[in-house]
Amino acid sequence: MAGDEAIIQEIVHEARHHSPDVARLTVEENRRHVTLLISAGLAALAGEVTLEEGDFGPASRLGALRAAQGISITALLRAVHAGRGRITEIAIERAREAGVPADLILEALVAVNRYAGMLERHVISGYHAAELELAWTARDSRQQVLRHLLHGRTAELANEEIVRAGLQSEGLYHCVLSDVTELSQARSLEQRFVGDSGVYGLVDGRLSGLTPRLPAPEAVGTALMVASPAVPLGRAGELHPLVLSALQAGIRLGLRGLYPLTELAGETALFAQPALAELLVGSLLGRLRPGDEFHRQLATTALAYLDHGHRVDQAAVALHVHPNTVRYRLSRLSEITGAPLDLPAGGVRPAVLQTMRWWWALHTWLEEAAPGS
């Protein structure tokens, strides 16, 4: 079972489903830890070593890492319990299908529960040990303040705590979130922001911060970072979900660098309505076939045309084709879909809304039509 990718994915899904905080981490990180924890228990469950001799290092390290990432112990244990429950169900189903006697299944379940209990104790122990260490450092004290502010718990902080974290209660700060989730990469990137007087740290598993001055674009590098306008600290928790939604939109668009929240306002609002996007795709692009490479080429061309302000020449440069090729593809798209890409003369709908509908439909269709999606 430890080598079965489908089972690993199912346990990861179960853990993420039951713990939204853990689900904010990357799927790959969840998957890596599930694999490690299952593998660590195999020798003990097979009787090759006693439970006391089992390797619980991965469990302790998991607890410590989640503490460093700002995941609460409650959220962490929800994920652990959900994964534990699902793997037990799968094991029982497979044992029955294989004809394993009921008394042997029961004996194995006793061993599983003993191992799971020790596993959980090591997760908790690793978490609390890391939490204690973090509490003694000024840097992580600042991160605790940051997490309170971004989660809208400003009222729980004394003014002295805010000041000790390097912030001013009456100051204005940008709420910034990045797509960086790996601990060493986050700390490396954080070092580049030292001069902007901000407070940075891992919040919900990603590098986040509050800063009076935005980082220089060259400091952000190839990471993606989204920043809100400067607001009082009391509003940081209000803007945090919006910035997170904008960041997720930027990730879908493959963006890199520093982006103001307001610059991604349209994409953020659109991507928050996936069901409406599906209806729009069916309405405008229902005749396109996802498996047809020519149809994907037509949609890509149309999206480039819209992204370049309805300029055929600029779209042609971006696609490395002749302008006449762009015109031909746009014409063929209109013929196939039965809907003109440009607003007809005398139309009553504002052109900007017509463009928005097409852009949204094309982008959604191309995401779903991408090979391997």
Per-residue model confidence as pLDDT tens for the chain (373 residues):
767 888 888 888 988 888 888 888 888 878 877 777 777 666 556 655 555 556 677 788 888 888 888 788 888 888 888 888 888 888 888 889 999 998 888 888 887 777 778 878 888 888 888 877 765 566 677 888 999 999 998 888 888 888 888 888 889 999 999 999 888 888 888 888 866 778 898 898 899 999 999 988 888 989 999 999 999 999 999 999 999 999 999 998 899 999 999 999 988 998 889 899 899 899 889 899 988 899 999 999 999 998 888 889 999 999 999 999 999 999 999 999 888 776 444 444 447 778 888 899 998 899 888 776 5
Q: Would you call 53 helix, strand, or coil by DSSP?
A: helix
**Cα end-to-end span (Å), the chain:** 26
Give domain status of residue 251, yes or no. yes
Half-sphere exposure (Cβ direction) of 357: Cα atoms closer than 13 Å: 18
Same domain? For 42 and 95 the reply is: yes
Q: Which of 241, 262, 283 is the last residue of a domain?
A: 262
Same domain? 189 vs 254: yes
**Do residues 222 and 160 both lie within one domain?**
yes
Is 70 within 8 Å of 147 (Cβ atoms)? yes
Residue matched to tokens 């924890």: 37
pTM of the predicted model over 0.75:
no
Last residue of a domain, one of 204, 236, 262: 262
**Residue whose structure tokens are 């020449």:** 313
CA atoms within 13 A on the CB side of 45: 25
The CA distance from 217 to 222, in Å, is 9
Strand partners, 232: 172
Quick check: is 97 in a domain? Answer: yes
Residue 267 lies in a domain: no
Residues 77 and 161 in one domain: no
Residue 348's pLDDT is what? 46
Distance CA 242, CA 104 (A): 53
Helix locations, the chain, DSSP H: 5-18, 20-23, 27-45, 57-68, 73-97, 102-135, 138-150, 159-164, 183-191, 217-220, 236-252, 265-271, 274-285, 293-307, 312-319, 323-337, 351-369
Task: Tell me which residue range forms the domain holding 309.
Answer: 274-369
Contact 88, 112 (CB under 8 A): yes
Residues near 69 by Cβ (< 8 Å), separated by ≥ 6?
A: 25, 183, 202, 204, 205
Asked whether residue 298 falls in the same domain as residue 198, the answer is no
Last residue of a domain, one of 135, 157, 178: 135
In this structure, is residue 269 part of a structural domain? no
Distance, CA of 141 to chain centre? 25
Structural domains counted in the chain: 3
pLDDT of residue 134: 66
Distance CA 185, CA 30 (A): 18
State the CATH number of the domain containing residue 347: 1.10.10.2840
Q: What is the pLDDT of residue 347?
A: 46
> Same domain, yes or no, for 74 and 171?
no
Residues 231 and 150 in one domain: yes
For residues 119 and 56, is the Cβ–Cβ distance under 8 A?
yes
Asked whether residue 146 is domain-assigned, the answer is yes
Q: Which two tokens stand for residue 104?
A: 């042997």
Residues 255 and 287 in one domain: no
Instruction: Determine how β-strand 206-211 pairs with β-strand 172-178.
Output: antiparallel
What torsion do the CA atoms of 296, 358, 344, 287 make, to the nearest 10 degrees? 50
Residue 123 covered by a domain? yes
Pairwise CA distance, residues 123 & 215, whole Å: 36
Same domain, yes or no: 108 and 207 = no
